[in-house]
A and B are shown apart, each in its own frame.
Chain A
Amino acid sequence: MAEQKTVATTGNSVVAEAFRQCAPDVVAAYPITPQTTIVEEFAKIVAQGRVHTEYVTVESEHSAMSACIGAAAAGARVMTATASQGLALMWEELYIASGMRLPIIMANTNRALSAPINIHCDHSDVMGARDSGWIILFAETAQEVYDNTIMAVPIGEDPEVLLPVMTCLDGFITTHSIDRVQLMDDDSVTAFVGDYEPQNALLDTDNPVSHGNFAGLGGPYFEFKKTQRLAIDCSKGVIERVGEAFSKLSGRPFGLIETDMMDDAEVAIVVLGSTAGNVRYVAKQMRAEGVKAGLVKIRCFRPFPVEEMVSALSDMKAVGVLDRADSFGAEGGPVFLETRSALYDLESRVPVVNYIYGLGGSDVRLDLIRTVYTDLSDIAAGSASLHGMQYLGAR
């Protein structure tokens, strides 16, 4: 076990601290609310000489991710952070990072996308990047932010994986609230993340290689993509393995999903991020009232933990999926689409309904979550029928 100390801190500070402990060679970033304090704190740490990182201020997120890509291709351990429009502006580069198999670590402080302008939490930013080939982890609390950030390094850098990892934390809710966090000692983290052994680094000038060359018309593009798919599929086992080792070190359990009160549950809510806390609280209340309520929190969204979701949900009488992002024009939000698709091959049909909630930071009140459980209980009891996606609590 690592030596640990308990501190009161914010999600963003925790990212900066985890970055310091993982000792990236390069951090390139551009400020955007609510990510800003991550990079500011990290800049201070660099200036104090507490980490030896080349810290690059750039003029846009497109440049930030481009600089990260250049550095990672050169063989560096690279980290950055962004949110919302920043992530959207990186879109082009996200695919380069994953396609070139560069294990860049990025904290994304989930924030709504324009228009209209909004700076508060939802998941529409990361959901726009869900097919970009990045491994995507979500955190409920600042503690999980810390743990995910550290685990991201050996996950992404595993030679079987070599993929960029995005660690998501909910804007303001997790980024700016003070939370209780256990931090591990530096030596334990250093040993846990290990040294990065880049493959085919550009700076290995004795063995020159070029990156990013043309692979069209008869070239190996298609096969490249296949290996990329194999890599992200294979990352699932690596994430579990790293999670297990991390649990031993920290004493905190980690799973691709976290199930709560699911042993005898009949109705369950599936959720990502900080809202899991609200759901857990309401589920306990519902249990006191005789509703067999449970909760499935997805910690790893990419790769999507299909088997784990199936085994958690296959006996449910009704499942409600909470989506903090809409997939406009689709049948429901992204988490709903994945979840229902995962359950499709089951013999028995599990009713799954979808609720879009909390867009642009709109309040996720406990009474709203209660209506979801009540709705699910009615569906389970047959007194209500399955319905299409609903905007939870929208006026």
Chain B
Amino acid sequence: MPAVKDYVTKNKPTWCPGCGNFGMWEALKRALSELEMEFHDYSIVWGIGCHGNGADFTKTAGFHALHGRTLPVATALSLTRPDLKVIVEMGDGDGYGLGMGHFVHSVRRNIDLTCIAHNNQIYGLTVGQASPTTEHLMKTVSTPDGVLEEPVNPLGLALAQGATFVARGFAGDIPHLTELYKEAIQHEGFALVDVFQPCVTFNKLNTFTWFRERVYKLDETDHDPSDHTAAFNLSMTTFHELTCAPDECRIPVGVFYRDTETPTYNERAVATDAPGYKRAEEVRDISKLLDSLG
């Protein structure tokens, strides 16, 4: 059984010292190890961004996709290799910006995969522009006057579109994140784990300290993860005034919603019929039809 230290390649991580990606990486390796995943049991698909550089450091039969295009690749993997646990590692720019269309459609299909979003609320790799989850009014190099738009609400969006497992993690709490990953990987259907991953270099607002002062664990509350409306309402409370005090803006982490009843696309596709090429019609004799045309 691989140990935590075995899920790596000989390449050393290139992330900035202190980057939230380290915590997420550690949690993923722990989850794989605790789930006793052999290398032939899982596959990881990365997008383009700092998060995607994990493709070079993580041992897997993996795929480093184009910017924004993790989910289509992972969908194909999931449908053709039901024996694999398919894991997507996407960025907030990558997955909620350029790849947003794929996100919504993968959710509504309930594809059996685990979608981990490295949500640092900034474009890290291209050095610090606003991303679709950057806080409203925050100033970045691409938005010197502050972001005009409201940020994307990934959890709310996933819930509205029928996601069957929706959770939020924090890269600064590795044991908690490990548990979320384990549950998400074991979940049958589309499992979203949106992880607040501080970018220590370019996001000077949403830092480790900023999150530490605000996060609280849902499993220490009376939140019922089978209550869709409660989950949705909770997802709506994460957007803050830039200056809001820690006791005013609280950030729930943990499982927002879990639905184990809805069948996955994988099950439905198999249940309806054989793969498309096997469903092709029998060859038909059309000579009579041709004759009628003279």
Q: Hey, which bits of chain A sit against chain B, CB under 8 A?
A: 30-33, 36, 39-40, 43-44, 46-48, 57, 59-60, 85, 89, 114, 117
Which single residue of chain B is at the shortest CB-CB distance from A32?
B126
Choose one: A32, A44, A57; the contact of B130 (CB below 8 Å): A57
Contacts of A44 in B (CB 8 A): 141, 144
1/0 contact trace for B145-162 toward A, CB 8 Å?
100000000000000000
Least distance between A169 CB and chain B CB atoms (Å) = 18
Contact A57 B143 (CB under 8 A): yes
Report Cα–Cα, A33/B123, bound state, in Å.
12
Number of A-B contacts (CB under 8 A): 43
Contact A59 B142 (CB under 8 A): no
Contact A85 B66 (CB under 8 A): yes
Beyond the given pairs A59-B98, A59-B132, A85-B66, 16 more chain A to chain B contacts, judged by CB atoms under 8 angstroms and listed by A's residue number, are: A31-B123, A31-B129, A32-B126, A40-B142, A43-B141, A43-B143, A44-B141, A44-B144, A46-B144, A47-B145, A57-B129, A57-B130, A57-B142, A59-B100, A60-B68, A60-B97
Which single residue of chain A is at the shortest CB-CB distance from B125?
A33
Report Cα–Cα, A361/B42, bound state, in Å.
35
Residues B62-96 near A (CB distance < 8 A): 64, 66-68
1/0 contact trace for B20-56 toward A, CB 8 Å?
0000000000000000000000000000100000000
B16 interfacial by beta-carbon distance below 8 Å: no
Report Cα–Cα, A89/B144, bound state, in Å.
26
Nearest 4 interchain pairs by C-beta = A47-B144, A59-B97, A60-B98, A31-B126
Which single residue of chain A is at the shortest CB-CB distance from B123?
A31
Contacts of A117 in B (CB 8 A): 48, 64
Q: Hey, which bits of chain B sit against chain A, CB under 8 A?
A: 48, 64, 66-68, 97-98, 100, 123, 125-127, 129-130, 132, 141-145
Q: Which secondary structure dominates chain B's binding surface? A: loop
Least distance between A264 CB and chain B CB atoms (Å) = 48
Which single residue of chain A is at the shortest CB-CB distance from B129?
A31
Contacts of A60 in B (CB 8 A): 68, 97-98
Contact A85 B141 (CB under 8 A): no
Least distance between A165 CB and chain B CB atoms (Å) = 24
Which single residue of chain A is at the shortest CB-CB distance from B97?
A59
Least distance between A162 CB and chain B CB atoms (Å) = 30
Contacts of B67 in A (CB 8 A): 85
Contacts of B143 in A (CB 8 A): 43, 57
Least distance between B274 CB and chain A CB atoms (Å) = 32
Choose one: A33, A43, A48; the contact of B142 (CB below 8 Å): A43
Report Cα–Cα, A185/B144, bound state, in Å.
26
Contacts of A33 in B (CB 8 A): 125-126
Least distance between A15 CB and chain B CB atoms (Å) = 16
Least distance between B37 CB and chain A CB atoms (Å) = 26
Which single residue of chain A is at the shortest CB-CB distance from B52?
A117
Report Cα–Cα, A43/B129, bound state, in Å.
11
Contacts of A39 in B (CB 8 A): 142
Contacts of B68 in A (CB 8 A): 60
Contacts of B123 in A (CB 8 A): 31
Contact A40 B98 (CB under 8 A): no
Which single residue of chain B is at the shortest CB-CB distance from A89?
B98
Provide 18 A-B residue pairs closer than 8 Å at the C-beta atoms, listed in order of the A residue: A36-B126, A40-B142, A43-B141, A43-B142, A43-B143, A43-B144, A44-B141, A44-B144, A46-B144, A47-B145, A57-B129, A57-B130, A57-B143, A59-B97, A59-B100, A60-B68, A85-B66, A117-B48
Least distance between B156 CB and chain A CB atoms (Å) = 18
Known: A33-B126, A36-B129, A60-B97. A114 touches B66 (CB 8 A): yes
Contact A31 B142 (CB under 8 A): yes
Report Cα–Cα, A347/B135, bound state, in Å.
67
Report Cα–Cα, A40/B132, bound state, in Å.
17
Contacts of B64 in A (CB 8 A): 117
Contacts of B141 in A (CB 8 A): 40, 43-44
Report Cα–Cα, A33/B126, bound state, in Å.
6
Contacts of B144 in A (CB 8 A): 43-44, 46-48
Which single residue of chain B is at the shortest CB-CB distance from A36?
B126
Choose one: A40, A46, A85, A114; the contact of B129 (CB below 8 Å): A40
Report Cα–Cα, A338/B4, bound state, in Å.
56
Which single residue of chain B is at the shortest CB-CB distance from A58?
B97
Most B CB contacts (10 A, CB to CB) among A39, A40, A44, A48 go to A40
Report Cα–Cα, A40/B126, bound state, in Å.
11
Report Cα–Cα, A46/B142, bound state, in Å.
11
Contacts of B130 in A (CB 8 A): 57
Report Cα–Cα, A39/B127, bound state, in Å.
13
Least distance between A157 CB and chain B CB atoms (Å) = 27
Contacts of B132 in A (CB 8 A): 59
Report Cα–Cα, A33/B100, bound state, in Å.
21
Report Cα–Cα, A47/B141, bound state, in Å.
11
Contacts of B129 in A (CB 8 A): 31, 36, 40, 57
Which single residue of chain A is at the shortest CB-CB distance from B99?
A60
Report Cα–Cα, A36/B129, bound state, in Å.
9
Report Cα–Cα, A117/B48, bound state, in Å.
9
Report Cα–Cα, A236/B43, bound state, in Å.
53
Report Cα–Cα, A291/B26, bound state, in Å.
62
Least distance between B127 CB and chain A CB atoms (Å) = 7
Report Cα–Cα, A48/B144, bound state, in Å.
9
Most B CB contacts (10 A, CB to CB) among A31, A36, A85 go to A31
Report Cα–Cα, A349/B206, bound state, in Å.
67
Report Cα–Cα, A33/B132, bound state, in Å.
19
Least distance between A111 CB and chain B CB atoms (Å) = 12
Contacts of A36 in B (CB 8 A): 126-127, 129
Contacts of B127 in A (CB 8 A): 36
Report Cα–Cα, A285/B126, bound state, in Å.
40
Report Cα–Cα, A36/B123, bound state, in Å.
11
Which single residue of chain A is at the shortest CB-CB distance from B145?
A47
Most B CB contacts (10 A, CB to CB) among A32, A44, A57, A60 go to A57
